[in-house]
């Protein structure tokens, strides 16, 4: 009776958390995607504009572009960027554990 009600409540809570939180993408993820696209575009432009036979000049400029990308991604990670998608973070077992932690907290 009561045990079944608690299990049903936990499952309904887990599905609710998955629905609510699973659709939200972290704002840092959008920034990292923008950084990745910008880096790729800058490397492509560098390759098309620079004389590729001058390897040292190309390498120095490419290193600078990649270093900027690395600094941006490092800053995003420090702000909480997670490489997993929202759907991966809020799997059913994770949502169920969160639901059960609410039970524990509320007593």
Residues 45 and 10 in one domain: no
Whether residue 34 is found in the same domain as residue 79: yes
33 and 78 belong to one structural domain? yes
Check whether residue 32 and residue 13 sit in a common domain: no
Same domain, 35 and 53: yes
Domain total of the chain: 2
Checking if the pLDDT of 94 tops 90, the result is no
Statement to judge: residues 60 and 73 lie in one domain: yes
pTM of the full structure:
0.58
Calpha distance 84→2 (Å, rounded): 36
Query: For residue range 54-67, what is the model confidence (pLDDT) as tens digits?
Result: 888 888 999 999 99
Which domain range does residue 99 map to?
1-25+85-106
Is there a single domain that holds both residue 36 and residue 61?
A: yes
Q: Copy the structure tokens of residue 93.
A: 């077992």
Do both 46 and 62 map to the same domain?
A: yes
Q: State mean pLDDT over 66-74.
A: 95
What letters, b where the CB count within 10 A reaches 16 and e where it falls short, cover 72-106?
Answer: bbeebeeeebeeeeeeeebeeebbbebbeeeeeee
Q: Are 32 and 105 in contact (CB under 8 A)?
A: no
Here the contacts of 58-65 (C-beta below 8 Å, separation 24 or greater) are: 65/39
Claim to verify: residue 36 and residue 46 sit in the same structural domain: yes
pLDDT at residue 99 is higher than 70: yes
Per-chain mean pLDDT for the chain: 84
Banded pLDDT at 87 (limits 50, 70, 90): low
Instruction: Please state, for a pLDDT cut of 70, what percent of the chain lies above it.
Output: 89
């Amino acid at each position: 009776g009561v045990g079944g009600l608690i299990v049903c409540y936990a499952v309904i809570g887990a599905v609710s958390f998955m629905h609510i939180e699973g659709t939200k993408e972290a704002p840092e993820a959008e920034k990292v995607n923008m950084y990745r696209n910008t880096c790729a575009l800058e490397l492509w432009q560098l390759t098309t504009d620079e004389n590729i036979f001058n390897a040292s000049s190309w390498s120095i400029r490419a290193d600078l572009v990649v270093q900027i990308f690395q600094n941006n991604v490092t800053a995003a990670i420090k702000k909480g960027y997670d490489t997993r998608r929202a759907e991966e973070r809020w799997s059913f077992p994770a949502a169920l554990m969160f639901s059960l932690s609410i039970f524990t907290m509320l007593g």
